Amino acid sequence: MEPTVAEVVTWTQKYMPFGDSYLAPALVAAIPLIILFVMLAVMRKPGHKAAFVATSAAVLLSIFVWGMPAGLALSATAFGAAYGLFPIVWIVITAIWIYNMTVESGEFEIIKNSLASITEDRRLQAIFIAFAFGSFIEGTAGFGTPVAITAAMLVGLGFNPLYAAGICLIANTAPVAFGAIGIPIVVAAQVTDIDMMKISAICGRQLPFLSVIVPLWLAVTMSGWKRAMEVLPACIVAGVCFAGTQFVMSNFHGPYLPDIASAIVTIIGLFLFLKVWKPKNVWHFPDEPASACAVTKCDYSAGQVIRAWGPYIILAFMVLLWGLDPVKKVLDAVTPFKFDWPGLHKLVIKTAPVVAKDAPYAAVFKVNLLSAAGTAILFSGLLSVLIIPNYSFGKAFACLGRTVYQLRFPIVTIAMILGLAIIMNYSGMSSTLGLAFTATGKWFPFFAPILGWLGVFLTGSDTSANALFGSLQKTTAQQIGVDPALCVAANSSGGVTGKMISPQSISVATAASNMVGKEGDIFRFTLKHSMAMVLFVSCLTMLQAYSLSWMLP
């Protein structure tokens, strides 16, 4: 009897390719991640170069150490790269395209002026711009864009450059897990096969505890406890507005809009509050004259300000519409295109102890072109052309071309990082790492956020950290009997606290604040804040795993 095709080409994962414990194989499986760390943090190589070398190392290890057939290894890497391009890069390109159009048309100057005209107090300006507006940009674009924009805005308002960069990095924490239209959560669900809504809901029951204190954290960092108390009411309004909206949206709508909705509610809430309340003392930096922080007069009419914000208002509405299940089902019915990835679908067999019994590993690529969040943003941009003055579709498409060129290296980096994540998953390397982490036993939930923190430090992206460690978190949680969704969500929640010390984020901040060459100063400025925040998330995750498990959905 002739063997079937499946019997010829299937390959069963090995989690202990050598030795009689998981420790030594785990150290070898960590080599691609170590390469990323050394090239990014020590050698300071560009992200696309580090990702290429790390991914190449992972492919070679999967073939020569884990015994994966070369064809399967290359197909898995290509599958990951393709997912990086769609839907992830599709979202990044369209989101930054809208931002670039507002800058190119001059409308962004109106946005900046409208924000700067609200208050002259440096603490409140930082909360308004770095926290509230930065969260809005994180929600629509992510991937370093909010730090670049807000740091430049604060320097333009006269902030000390070190504080402008450091404050924006610290503020860009709580919104990161839902950044770029929720891509970090989408990726976490994709690489772990855990329900996306459950991951979103758990993050929405962790991050609001951080969100509610970040405005006060910023004020204390800038002016100390005593002076921060002068703006405590505004800190409470900003924190409660953001945290409350973040909880509701992440639990009842999904991961796409928590940042955008929270930022809008916070901006409106803080704006209205500052209309009726002012701090007793106006604070400015010790090394600047009081006159330097005089409030900027709004030079535009209410209609011009609303028009300038129009593209982002349209974007918020379109993404909200696209996130509704009935709408998504209709759009998916129009473009129901998906296919089994050639040379990979169900050809890799997961085995014990990762699964109870042997199970084929599916690899299905969905081209849900119409229902993709990036398409909602594309339509938002096209509609925005109609309200941007002296702008045309010709200029818009030319801007789109320039945006793609501008993002050429991030596009390659994202594709490579997703390729690295998927080859580590399909070869069993991630599972080997995860099984080694079971040695921490019941303490693993405490370390789960720290793993995400390390991942974001290495890659500069919560999306990439979830792609790298999501499967590992799931495997380890299953081994110790903890809800896998909690550890996967904790990877994302902990990861947000690593953003402020990531070499890529710091590079963006130094460029935006004219501090190139001072990366070490900013790293030292943010390190203690990063460590304090990740320990906070670690303690919360540990409690939610056991004594506070009722908090989970």
| Torsion sign across C-alpha atoms 388, 394, 396, 402 | negative
Task: Give the separation between CA 227 and CA 464, rounded to whole angstroms.
Answer: 38
Residue 237's pLDDT is what?
A: 94
Closest CA to 363 of 339, 379, 391: 339
Residue 11 phi, psi dihedral angles, 5° rounding:
-135, 130
Nearest-angstrom CA–CA distance, 351 and 133? 47
Question: Which tens digit of pLDDT belongs to each residue from 3-27?
Answer: 444 444 799 999 899 878 888 998 9
pTM: 0.75
The DSSP code for 349 is: E
pLDDT at 4: 45
255, 182 Cβ separation under 8 angstroms:
yes
pLDDT at site 154: 78
Q: Residue 22 burial by CB count (10 A; 0-12/13-18/19+): exposed, middle or buried?
A: buried
Tell me which residue of 74, 7, 15, 548 sits closest to 341, measured CA to CA: 74
For the chain, how many helices (H) and strands (E)?
A: 28, 5
| Distance between CA atoms of residues 235 and 126, nearest Å | 11
CB 308 within 8 Å of CB 115: no
* Tens of pLDDT, residues 417-464: 788 888 988 998 888 887 787 778 888 899 899 888 877 776 677 887
- Provide DSSP, 475-502: HHHHHHTS-HHHHHHHHHHHHGGGGGG-
H-type alpha helices, 172-213: 179-192, 196-203, 207-211
Q: Across the strands, what pairs with 366?
A: 338
pLDDT at 379: 94
Parallel/antiparallel/unpaired status of strands 338-340 and 348-350? unpaired
Q: Rounded to an integer, what distance in angstroms lies between the CA atom of residue 267 and that of residue 130?
A: 11
Q: What is the pLDDT of residue 158?
A: 73
Query: In terms of residues, how long is the chain?
Result: 553
Task: List the chain residues with pLDDT less than 50.
Answer: 1-8, 292-293
Q: What is the pLDDT of residue 520?
A: 65
Do residues 34 and 456 make contact, with C-beta atoms less than 8 angstroms apart? no
